[in-house]
Amino acid sequence: MKYILIILAFTLITCTSESNNQADLIASREAPLGWVTLKLFKPNNFTIGTGRGSKIHTGTYIIKKDTIKFNFKDSIPVNGCEEAIIKNGFINYNKCWGSLKIAHNQLKN
């Protein structure tokens, strides 16, 4: 129940902060110590939030082939990465957040 409320709060905050734009890609994972949710918006904005009341980080991104390069607006989150690979229905971070399962993907390949 606690995780559902946290995810609901994050969704409401993200929708408000992005002026109700629909995300082109949503990927997330749950874990005992918290969750991570990534949302990519047109033209090239993103939000990424982690569990346990952490800050929601924003910035811009560029996709080259199967790699997403993130440019964070303020600072890179703790345990965060500036790059990830899209592969087999997952966003794979190298040596940081692990893998996020893609739940929604409207990006053009």
Residue pLDDT, tens place only, 18-38: 444 689 999 998 866 678 899
The two structure tokens encoding residue 30: 């749950």
pTM of this prediction? 0.75
For the chain, which ranges sit under pLDDT 50?
Answer: 16-20
Q: What's the CATH number of domain 2-105, 2.40.128, 2.40.160, 3.90.980, 1.10.10?
A: 2.40.128
- What does the domain layout of the chain look like in residue ranges? 2-105
DSSP output for 37-61:
EEEEETTTEEEEEETTTPPEEEEEE
**How high is the mean pLDDT of the chain?**
81
Neighbours of 32 (CB within 10 A): 6
Let me know if 34 is exposed, middle or buried by CB neighbors in 10 A (0-12, 13-18, 19+): middle
